[in-house]
Amino acid sequence: MRAYERLLKYVAYPTASDEASPASPSTPAQLELGRALVQEMKDLGIADAAMDENGYVYGTVPGNVDKKTPVVGFIAHMDVVRDVPFENIRARVCRYDGGELVLNQEQGIVLSPDEFPELGDYAGGDLVVTDGTTLLGADDKAGIAEIMTMAERLLGDPGIRHGDIKLGFTPDEEIGRGADRFDIPRFGADFAYTVDGAAFGEVEYENFNAASCKVSIRGKNIHPGSSKNKMKNALLIAVEFASLLPPAETPAHTELREGFYHLTGVSGTVEEAEMGYILRDHDSSVLEQRKETMRRAADFLNARYGEGTVTLTLTDGYRNMAEAMRGHMHIVETARSAVRELGAEPQSSPIRGGTDGATLTYMGLPCPNLGTGSHNHHGKLEYASVQAMDKCVDLLVKIAEAYAR
């Protein structure tokens, strides 16, 4: 089975994670996909395939060489984001000959290289797309599909020489919990690769440092007919807080290593309001400055409207793996060499986000990231290239072989 065929199966599972849920995994659909993956792995001949009590799936493709080799792992996550429609996905494969690709004639939804220039790289090939009303879920079900297809190839072809290969599928990556309960000793790899997003040939080992901020605002509601010099409108104070942050330092205005403040949600009434922000920067010292900017904004509004009007809850997230990867760059170089063997030039761009690999690297499992041949993640215009997914499978096989030479 080809990787794209598996992707079409996996996207039928509505596996959005839920930050409000304390459970692990946070949603039952992830357990459903996990069970299906365990059964598929067993059907392939992976005898130790299993899912633990927290929804993490593990398995081993046994090596077929006599000498001692490093144990290599490949990891992908099962969940998708919740803030884009994620149910009843109508995925299909279509030929792409260039120009605009109509996803939904009735609603006028198109994929255009004018908006997404990288789309032009796939002219003459086949794309997995939706009808433009939901996400696709290639982040990261394309990664799962490629790892499973690699496993099938290794198990079916004894001529491919390799050591033990570990497979791991995690829940709740999109809400920052994907590595929290990952059992590194059980996994049993010396190092690993996440297979999570971006184009074929991407070999990534640098990512954002992350923090989140909850802004709680306490107002005072008084009848508007008699509220002069008395009312404190929490919603208007929320607007004022947002105006105190640098307007050009948002995701819509930044790229590469430029960090940002990202307002993810606002709710409330005159009496009370709440705002959610995520803060990102590749430089940890600049991320600390961003936190301080948030504190100064709160201090300013508290001085203006009274102490206790604005309260911040700042929480650190994942860290930039680049520093922890410095002593393990041979893992990156092996992947780069494998890309070159397949006739492409590897690219190492800073990840404008995070992966389970960032946290796992700091937990002692070095874990750079490989591309999956998919794009426009977390949106309704997400797509994956059939041919690029095939190349990504070839890359995983090449990496597995490399450590057995």
User: Which sequence positions are flagged as catalytic?
Assistant: 79, 173
Residue 204 backbone dihedrals phi, psi, to 5 degrees = -110, 135
Residue 157 contacts by C-beta under 8 Å, 6 or more apart in sequence?
A: none
**CA proximity to 196, closest of 136, 118, 139:** 139
49-56, long-range: CB < 8 A, 24+ apart = 52/183, 52/186, 54/24, 54/25, 54/171, 54/181, 55/24, 55/25, 55/30, 55/31, 55/171, 55/172, 56/168, 56/169, 56/170, 56/171, 56/181, 56/182, 56/183
The string of DSSP letters for 144-186 reads HHHHHHHHHHHHH-TTS----EEEEEES-GGGT-TTTT--HHH
Burial group, residue 155, by CB count within 10 angstroms (0-12, 13-18, 19+): middle
Signed CA dihedral, 41, 46, 51, 56: sign only: negative
